Amino acid sequence: MKMIDSHAHFAADTPQFYELMAKTGLRIINNCYDGNAHGMEGENSAKQKVRYKTITAARPDLFQWVTTFESAGFEDADFVEKTIAILEQDFADGALGVKMWKNVGMMLKRKNGEMLFLDEPLFDPIFEYITKCDKTLMIHTGEPWQHFQPLQKGTIHAQYMLTNKLDFINDPDIAEHDRYLQVFDNIMDKHPNMRVIGVHLGCMEHSLERMSQTLDKYPNFAMDTAGPSRSAGLAILDNDDVTAFLTKYQDRIMYGTDFLNELLLSQYSPEEQAEFIAMFDRYYNQVPSYYESTDLVMVKFVCTPGLGLPQDVLDKIFTTNVAKWYPGAFDN
C-alpha cells in the first residue's frame, strides 16, 4: 500500500531500502527527540539532526524531517532566544515542525528540584514562533496509562515496563497520568492556532472517550499511531467502537511506526542491515493489516480480527492526512 510513515526515526540510505520504498510507495517523516539528556534514554538530538537532514537532502522525495531542541539549559537567561535561533535555522533547512519529548515532565528539573512541564509559560514564546512560521508541534507527553498501573502480566506494556524497570507508582517524581494529558489542553488553550500532534495516540489509547474529548475540544489537534504497541492498544478494544472512532476522526489520525535506528542504515554491518530490512514487513505490512484487513492479524502481542476500514479512510490515515498536518511535506 502507498504510505507515508508520519513518525519514524529511520535514516535508511541503502539502494536496497530505496528500492523497497519505491516498490511499495513508502515515504518517511523522521523526527528528532531530546534524548540522552539528564538521565533519559536515547541518542543526543544533535546527531539525529545531522542524520535526518542528510537523508532528506539526499532523497527529499522519500524522506522529510521534524526537528527538536535541547531543553537542558532552560534556566539560562538566553534559552528562549537561542532556541528560536536554532529553530529558525532548522526551518530554513526544511524541518516541517518541532518535537517535544517526555523528558519534559518526567525528568527535567529546575535547580530547586521542581519538575519542569511542557505547558509552562517558559515555552510560550517558542510556541508563538512555531505558530508564526506555520510549523507543527509534535508532543510526546507522559507514557501510556498502563505504565501508571501496577505491573500486570500479559498486558501490552509489561515487557517495556520490566525491561526499563519502570515503577511510576512508587516514583515521587512522576505525576498522575492525567497531569500529562492536561498538557495538551493547557498548551492549546493558549495557542489555539498552532497545529499540535499528540504522538503515540497522545498516550491516551486506553480510552477512545479520552481521545475524543481532546479531539472534540481542539480542531488543531491530531494524533499519530506510532508504534506497534499503540495500535495494539486499540486492538484490545472493541472493533466496532474503534472503527466508529477512526471513521469519525478520519481526518485527524496518521499512521506512524516509531521505526528506529541510531546510524545511517549503510553504516551497519550487512547482517544488521538485513535485520532492519526484515523489520520492514512488521512495520509496513503486519501492523497496517490490522486497519486494512478483516482477517485474523497479530498486532504486537494482540491477536485480533482486523478492522477492515473503508479505502477512503485508509487513504487518509496512511497517506493524505500528512499534507494537512505537515504542510510542505513531499511537495516536490
The footprint of Zn ion (CB under 5 A) covers: 258
* Closer by beta carbon to Zn ion, 28 or else 313: 28
Closest distance of CB 197 from Zn ion, Å = 11
CA distances from 157 to 10, 100, 121, 234, 306 (A): 23, 22, 33, 13, 21
* Closer by beta carbon to Zn ion, 53 or else 79: 53
Closest distance of CB 9 from Zn ion, Å = 6
* Closer by beta carbon to Zn ion, 42 or else 308: 42
* Closer by beta carbon to Zn ion, 8 or else 307: 8
Closest distance of CB 185 from Zn ion, Å = 22
Sheet holding 195-198, edge to edge: 3-8, 26-31, 63-68, 97-100, 136-139, 195-198, 221-224, 253-254
* Closer by beta carbon to Zn ion, 146 or else 306: 146
For residue 67, what is the DSSP state?
E
Closest distance of CB 45 from Zn ion, Å = 12
130 burial level (CB within 10 Å; 0-12, 13-18, 19+):
buried
- Chain centroid to CA 294: 26
CA atoms within 13 A on the CB side of 73: 10
> How many C-beta atoms lie closer than 10 Å to residue 305's C-beta?
13
Closest distance of CB 62 from Zn ion, Å = 19
Closest distance of CB 260 from Zn ion, Å = 7
> How many C-beta atoms lie closer than 10 Å to residue 207's C-beta?
13
42: Cβ contacts below 8 Å, ≥ 6 apart? 33, 35, 36
* Closer by beta carbon to Zn ion, 119 or else 258: 258
Pick the closest to residue 105 from 184, 211, 220 (CA basis). 184
**Residue closest to Zn ion (Cβ):** 258
Q: Which run of H or E residues covers position 21?
A: helix 15-24
* Closer by beta carbon to Zn ion, 5 or else 258: 258
248 burial level (CB within 10 Å; 0-12, 13-18, 19+):
middle
Do residues 69 and 84 lie in contact, with contact meaning Cβ atoms separated by under 8 Å?
no
Closest distance of CB 68 from Zn ion, Å = 11
* Closer by beta carbon to Zn ion, 90 or else 258: 258
Cell of 272: 544488521
211: Cβ contacts below 8 Å, ≥ 6 apart? 201, 202, 204, 205, 223, 245, 249
Closest distance of CB 265 from Zn ion, Å = 17
Cis preceding linkage at 308, omega within 30: no
Residue spans of alpha helices (H) in 25-96 = 45-58, 79-92
* Closer by beta carbon to Zn ion, 71 or else 79: 71
Closest distance of CB 65 from Zn ion, Å = 13
